[in-house]
Amino acid sequence: MDSRQQRNKVISSDEWYTPQSLIEKLGSFDLDPCAPMQPLYQLAPMTFNKEQDGLVQEWPKDAFVWLNPPYSRVLLRRFVEKLAEHNNGIALLVNRQDNLLFQEVIFPRAKSMIFMRHRVKFLRPDGTSGTPFFGSCLVAFGEEANMRLRRAEIPGKYVILNYP
Ligand SMILES: C[S@@+](CC[C@H](N)C(=O)[O-])C[C@H]1O[C@@H](n2cnc3c(N)ncnc32)[C@H](O)[C@@H]1O
């Protein structure tokens, strides 16, 4: 594999993990349904990895969910739809407001979002950090999630999508 292929493989990989500092700004979560096979830290007390398949698992009714989903279009949409249905959690997503996921799922069903001012320094599986070539946003489903985004001191623009 030449260096360009290697670089593309890293960019297209799902293995970009959320820095703990971002989670700490948002408070604690009960469930991470898209957890790495070998997590670098315990993001939530309950996790599902790709072998367990977070999509087919039942998410406990009251669980407050952290969703940083795999990037492949089909999985991504299915996970965000499942969170919209669950209606209690926050998703960290690539800023792509012109795509169908935003137009058909997020804008009609999420409460609010933050367009993040800074690029997230994601963690790689070896513990090093890297900044991808895309900006991120946080999307709140449910009132608890909305309250957390409103209060979080995260640089960027907080926007209400749907009242009440
Ligand atoms: C972008 S990473 C985020 C990891 C973690 N949620 C975080 O916030 O740090 C997405 C993760 O989802 C995992 N994944 C892929 N398909 C999955 C599935 N069907 N069920 C659960 N996890 C899956 C990948 O292995 C990868 O570790």
What does the pLDDT look like over 47-90, one tens digit per residue?
Answer: 999 999 999 999 999 999 999 999 888 999 999 999 999 999 99
For residue 130, give the 3-state DSSP assignment.
Answer: strand
Give the lowest-confidence range in 18-22, 104-108, 128-132, 143-147.
Answer: 128-132
pLDDT at 5: 47
Identify which of 10, 28, 31, 49 to mutate to test ligand 1's pocket (most ligand atoms within 8 A of the CB). Answer: 49
pLDDT at 96 over 80: yes
pLDDT at 110: 98
- Is position 50 within any domain? yes
Which atom of ligand 1 is nearest the CA belonging to 92?
8
Strands (DSSP E) found in 45-120: 46-49, 65-67, 89-94, 112-116
Question: Is residue 70 within 6 Å of ligand 1 at its C-beta?
Answer: yes
Q: Residue 54 belongs to what domain range?
A: 14-160
What are the phi and psi torsion angles at 127 (to 5°)? 90, -10
Q: What is the pLDDT of residues 104-135, one digit of tens each?
A: 999 999 999 999 999 999 999 999 999 888 89
Residue 64 sits in a domain whose CATH number is: 3.40.50
Neighbours of 101 (CB within 10 A): 18
Q: What angle do CA 45, 49, 51 make, to 5 degrees?
A: 140
Count structural domains, the chain: 1
- Is position 2 within any domain? no
- Is position 55 within any domain? yes
